Amino acid sequence: MEGYFPTMADLTKYVTSTDYNTAGIPEICFGFSIDKINTKVYNYTMNFFVVGRSGGRSSIPDPAQVSQNRFTNKPNLGDFNKWMNSGYLALVKILNDIIFQDATNTTTAKIDFGLLAQNYTTYLDDSKGRLLGAILPFFIVIGYLSPLIVLIYRILSEKVTFLINSSKFLIFIFINSSNYNIGKQIKRRYEDDGSF
Amino acid sequence: MMGLSDGVYFASWFLEFLVINTIFALINSIILIIMVFKFIGFLWIFLLMWLYGMSVFSLGYFFCSFMDRTRIGLIFAILVYFVMYFVSLVSTSDLVSNTLKMLASLLPPTCLQLGLNNFIYFDVIFINII
């Protein structure tokens, strides 16, 4: 939905309507109201309403997450358009354009402003933290290598011992059965012919 | 093996390593909480260490299922273990997407590296805020 509410009361009436979030009165994410007091004074409000939407992923840089934080790598020169078209800055720009158009009575009037992000390397790119992040896991990985080696050694030793014992047992069975069979053959021949 | 059922045999190894790992994780956590981390709770560090130890145990058992010779098995396990660690060095880059990081976290050393990096990151941020 596009446009704006003439007064704050209209906005409140819209979102508190019993038919809100139905086909006739769709749910809104942001609500604006502009009160023109006189030609020199404008009062405006911005309201954010929670919309049931989840699973989205932000495409603009998020300083709270290191993986998405481009401040730590290089000066941020190419992302100002993303901030300009989203969040608080985009809302302010919409309201400024509406007020400017109303004040100049020109529908095409607009205010374009640029934004260049400051580089915060000294704040977020902590060299000690980075060094610690590289060294600490290495020592822990090395530390856990010894129980891993002991575990594998013991399990495999047991496995090998079992295999050797199984082999011995099989050889024992083979020799026993062979003795029995050979003896049986000798006995049968002796009983049949009286000779070997 | 040796007259034991499979369940009892596996449980004996599991329980033995469970005790060793708990002691190991406890010592590691105490050292880390005293010397490294100032604002991360003991429980979280202990949980990270303990879970890492259990995953190393599972990894060791996984290696053993393929090997019959002790020496070759040990060399293979150490080699693969370090290869997994080298993957972690790559996965910490900002250029790697979160999906790839989650997939790489199936390797225990990589998971440890990413987890500890997060701990250090928040610990450092807290120091900066104060």
Average the pLDDT over A64-90 and give the result. 61
Q: Do A156 and B73 touch (CB under 8 A)?
A: yes
Average the pLDDT over A155-162 and give the result. 83
CA distance B106 to chain A (A): 15
Q: What percent of chain B has pLDDT over 70?
A: 93
Residue A83 tokens, joined: 């901030």
**What is the pLDDT at residue A66?**
53
Span of A90-104, A106-120, B43-57 with lowest mean pLDDT: A106-120
Using CA atoms, how far residue B123 sits from A129, A182, B36, in Å, is 9, 79, 9
**What is the pLDDT at residue A38?**
87
- Give strand pairing partners of A25: A20
Q: Do A149 and B1 touch (CB under 8 A)?
A: no
Does residue A128 sit at the B interface (CB-CB below 8 Å)? yes
Q: Are A148 and B81 in contact (CB under 8 A)?
A: yes
Q: What are the extents of the domains in chain B?
A: 6-129
pLDDT value at A71 more than 70: no
Does residue B20 sit at the A interface (CB-CB below 8 Å)? yes
Q: What is the ipTM of this complex?
A: 0.84
Banded pLDDT at B27 (limits 50, 70, 90): very high
Alpha-carbon radius of gyration of chain A:
41
The helix (H) or strand (E) run that includes residue B50 is helix B42-64
Banded pLDDT at B1 (limits 50, 70, 90): low
Residue A97 neighbours by CB distance under 10 Å: 15
pLDDT in tens, B70-81: 888 889 889 999
Give the C-alpha separation, B113 to B110, whole Å: 5
pLDDT value at B66 more than 70: yes
Q: Do B85 and A141 touch (CB under 8 A)?
A: yes
**What is the pLDDT at residue B130?**
47
**What is the pLDDT at residue A43?**
84
**What is the pLDDT at residue A1?**
46
Does residue B85 sit at the A interface (CB-CB below 8 Å)? yes
B105 chain-A contacts, CB cut-off 8 A: none
pLDDT value at A73 more than 60: no
The amino acid sitting at A143 is G
CA dihedral A48, A53, A56, A62 (to 10 degrees): 30
B49 chain-A contacts, CB cut-off 8 A: 140
Enumerate long-range contacts of B2-7, CB under 8 Å, 24 or more apart.
B2/A162
Using CB atoms, which residue from B56, B94, B117 is nearest to A144? B56
pLDDT in tens, A160-191: 887 777 777 777 777 777 778 888 888 887 77
CA distance B124 to chain A (A): 6
pTM of the model: 0.55
Residues 104-123 of chain A whose Cβ lies under 8 A from any Cβ of chain B: 123
Average pLDDT, chain B: 86
Q: How many CB pairs under 8 A join A and B?
A: 106
pLDDT in tens, B121-130: 788 766 655 4
**What is the pLDDT at residue A120?**
54
pLDDT in tens, A24-53: 777 777 777 788 888 888 888 777 776 555
pLDDT value at A61 more than 80: no
The better pLDDT of the pair B28, A1 is held by: B28
The chain A residue lying nearest B50, using CA atoms, is A144
